[in-house]
């Protein structure tokens, strides 16, 4: 059994073939424990994957004779499949010698979400029953949501700020329940939908709203926050930190709403307050 995969190497900005004679195993684990058993070959996009590269890969993972010719066909076919379908990952694990044939016993592919609009045949294969309903719901509202295993719900704009927010929560002793990026131009309805999706997770014990508005506007976010808290009757603590465009108007909307929420001045303060609120010791 062998491992064979194609990935996009961000460092070289090229497709890279990864192969190993340790098929059926997690390639990351093999790379960590026995890196000499992992073969890497970078593909020049101007000429594609060449026969000599395929032969070199096949030889280095222990194939010989006619097996090498079969491996060349498999490798080149997998590369064409990867290239022509805008894939970000294509792997055969394991690729096995069954009698006198090379057979793909299991395979996996991932695709570039930004290219799916031109791959209708791929999008038609999507099985929503195999996905987290909250993530499917979020995608329908142009929200980037990934469920995690913590208890602090996060509603943030910008992927970088969302990652920093989760780091700050962990730093203060908490665990984020999700990654959620509302993106640019977040309307009040979008913010309200973000609250609804986060609250669908029964593990969420407190919510942190962290907005640094550029394209977004703090008044939009504040309006959505008030709308969500009034319509959804939120019973858990909500910490809000607003900064950037129209922050004064956003803060005014929150102040005049009459709602019970906790205000924070910066990211560190917001993370500390949401953990304290979750534990019942509001700062």
Q: Which residues have a catalytic role annotated?
A: 3, 91
Which tokens belong to 160? 């970088």
Closest CA to 211 of 172, 263, 174: 263
Closest CA to 166 of 240, 270, 277: 270
Distance from C-alpha of 72 to C-alpha of 129, rounded to nearest angstrom:
37
**Inter-residue contact 27 to 38 (CB < 8 Å):** yes
Q: Is 183 left (phi over 0), alpha (psi -120 to 50) or beta?
A: left
Per this entry, what is the length of the chain?
Answer: 283
Peptide bond connecting 42 to the previous residue in cis, omega within 30 degrees of 0: no
Which tokens belong to 260? 């019970």
- Locus of tokens 């509603």: 155
Beta bridge partners of 13: none
**Inter-residue contact 49 to 17 (CB < 8 Å):** yes
DSSP secondary structure of 231-259 = HTT--S-EEEEEEETTHHHHHHHHHHT--
């Amino acid at each position: 059994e062998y491992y064979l995969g194609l990935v996009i190497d961000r460092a070289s900005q090229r497709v890279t073939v990864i192969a190993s004679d340790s098929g059926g195993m997690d390639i990351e684990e093999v790379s960590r424990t026995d890196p000499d058993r992992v073969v890497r070959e970078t593909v020049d996009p101007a000429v594609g994957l060449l026969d000599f590269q395929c032969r070199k890969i096949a030889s280095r993972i222990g194939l010989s004779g006619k097996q090498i010719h079969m491996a060349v066909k498999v490798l080149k076919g997998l590369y064409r499949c990867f290239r022509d379908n805008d894939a970000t990952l294509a792997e055969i694990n394991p690729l096995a010698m069954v009698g006198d044939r090379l057979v793909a016993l299991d395979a996996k592919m991932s695709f570039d979400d930004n290219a799916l609009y031109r791959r209708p045949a791929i999008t038609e294969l999507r099985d929503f029953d195999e996905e987290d309903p909250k993530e499917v719901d979020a995608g329908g509202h142009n929200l980037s949501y990934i469920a995690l295993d913590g208890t602090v719900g996060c509603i943030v704009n910008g992927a970088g700020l969302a990652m920093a927010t989760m780091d700050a929560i962990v730093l203060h002793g908490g665990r984020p329940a999700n990654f959620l990026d509302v993106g640019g131009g977040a309307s009040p309805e979008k913010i309200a939908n973000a609250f609804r999706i986060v609250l669908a997770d029964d593990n969420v014990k407190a919510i942190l709203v962290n907005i640094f508005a550029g394209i977004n506007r703090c008044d939009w976010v504040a309006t959505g926050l008030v709308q969500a808290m009034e319509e959804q009757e939120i019973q858990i603590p909500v910490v809000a930190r607003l900064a950037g465009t129209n922050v004064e108007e956003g803060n005014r909307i929150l102040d005049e709403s009459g709602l019970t929420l906790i205000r924070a001045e910066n990211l560190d303060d917001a993370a500390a307050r949401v953990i304290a609120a979750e534990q019942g010791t509001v700062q």
